[in-house]
Amino acid sequence: MGGKGSSPPPAPDYTGAAKEQGAANVEAARVQGQMNNPNVVNPYGTQTTTWQGDQPTLTQTFAPQQQALYDQQVKSQQMLGGLGQQGVTAAQGILGTKVDFSGSPTAGNPQQSYQNAVDAMMQRPTADYQRAVEQSNADLASAGIPVGSKAYNTQRDLLGRQLTDAQTQAGLAGINAGNTFFNQQQAAHQTGNADYLTQRTQPLNEITALMSGSQVSNPFTMPGYAQNAQVQAAPLYNAAQQTGNYNTDVWNAKQAQQGQLQSGLFGLGGSALMGGGMAMSDRRLKTHIARVGTTHLGLSVYEYDIFGHRTRGVMADEVLGVRPEAVLTHPSGYLMVNYERLWH
């Protein structure tokens, strides 16, 4: 139907390229792993790398002197670990019981501390007040001043004000004294509780210290992939993409050349009719195609855009199945229809 140059190039095998890229990555990782796991010889001993397939095995061997030191360290740490186990056994009875704070000093009561301070300060003023009242009653009676008289009441009010003043002073002083006493009680309570908690946690701290010291150190460091060699896989997948882009560019250039040729040949517009009833009718040249009817031969009639114009006609590929003698191939590779043969 069309010329060989009119077909786009086949798509590159992206799947195959991706598989090749993956295989190249695996091979690069294999080479990199071998390069990054060298045999090591140092004053501590030796380290050798052997391979079973892609799985490396690192074997570390101490020098004789280092082996002796390592054995001594293991023995010492085993003894410390044994002491830690003894401590754990001893602590089992402690951890299963509730901490008893009953022997710790009680916490202070700020209100009670204040009241105790005020009561202590008012003992003497109260006693003095009682003696002053008794002495005043005796003096007033000897002076002939009866109980309930103005002079009697004035004397009693004076003594009452003195007692009130003493109570006010005691209240103010009691605040400071009560706070001091309360703080002392609180400090004693906290200290007592801390002593009980120390007794509870001391065995646990000893166990922790023993167990933390029972770790055996290894002078060898476990090597990872040191990345001292980077092996990059070949960019096969990118190469396939570039090849596809190049082939597409070549095809586009050919299409552009053919389009220029067609534009020169069929620049008359309209339905692109030529002499003898010939017209370009290749589906590849048409856009915005819509079926609008049927011919007497049963061919579909379409409305479409071609060479910048809207027109109606048939599709050359469909005419081939009914009137092949009415279809010709243009030198550009596109199909043409002889409408005179089609209608008669």
DSSP string, 227-287: -----PPP-HHHHHHHHHHHHHHHHHHHHHHHHHHHHHHSTT-TT-B-GGGEEE--GGG-E
Residue 311, pLDDT score? 94
Give residues with Cβ within 8 angstroms of 121, minimum separation 6.
169, 170, 173, 174, 177
CA 53-48-59 angle, 5° bins: 85
Q: Between residues 87 and 77, which one has the greater pLDDT?
A: 77
Give the mean model confidence (pLDDT) for residues 289-317: 94
Give the mean model confidence (pLDDT) for residues 34-42: 81
d(C-alpha 299, C-alpha 62), whole Å: 92
In this structure, of 15-19, 149-153, 224-228, 253-257, the range with the lowest mean pLDDT score is 224-228
Q: Is residue 107 part of a domain?
A: yes
- Same domain assignment for residues 153 and 71: yes
**Domain span at residue 276?**
266-343
- Same domain assignment for residues 273 and 209: no
d(C-alpha 234, C-alpha 129), whole Å: 111
Q: Is residue 245 part of a domain?
A: no
- Same domain assignment for residues 88 and 201: yes
- Same domain assignment for residues 88 and 196: yes
Residue 230, pLDDT score? 58
Give the mean model confidence (pLDDT) for residues 64-77: 84
Query: pLDDT > 70: what percent of the chain?
Result: 73
- Same domain assignment for residues 71 and 173: yes
Residue 2 has pLDDT above 70, yes or no: no
- Same domain assignment for residues 166 and 283: no
Question: Which amino acid makes up residue 220?
Answer: F
Q: Is residue 30 part of a domain?
A: no
- Same domain assignment for residues 71 and 189: yes
- Same domain assignment for residues 163 and 297: no
Give the mean model confidence (pLDDT) for residues 250-277: 51
pLDDT tens for residues 178-212? 778 778 777 877 777 777 677 667 666 766 765 56
What's the predicted TM-score (pTM) here? Answer: 0.31
Q: Which two tokens stand for residue 43?
A: 């004053």
Identify the domain boundary among 216, 247, 278.
Answer: 216
- Same domain assignment for residues 209 and 149: yes
Q: Is residue 35 part of a domain?
A: no
Q: Is residue 7 part of a domain?
A: no
The pairing of strands 327-329 and 309-313 is unpaired
Q: Is residue 336 part of a domain?
A: yes
> Which class for 313: exposed (0-12), middle (13-18), buried (19 or more C-beta within 10 A)?
buried
pLDDT band at 324 (very low <50, low <70, confident <90, very high): very high
- Same domain assignment for residues 289 and 194: no
Q: Which two tokens stand for residue 237?
A: 């997948």
Local structure of residue 38 (DSSP, 8 states): -
**Which residue in 10, 227, 11, 192 sits closest to 102, CA to CA?**
192
d(C-alpha 304, C-alpha 39), whole Å: 76
Residue 92, pLDDT score? 65
Total domain count for the chain?
A: 2
d(C-alpha 279, C-alpha 268), whole Å: 11
Q: Is residue 157 part of a domain?
A: yes
Identify the domain boundary among 176, 191, 216.
Answer: 216
- Same domain assignment for residues 73 and 197: yes
- Same domain assignment for residues 201 and 80: yes
Residue 262, pLDDT score? 44
Q: Is residue 54 part of a domain?
A: no
Identify the domain boundary among 216, 231, 249.
Answer: 216
d(C-alpha 327, C-alpha 163), whole Å: 136
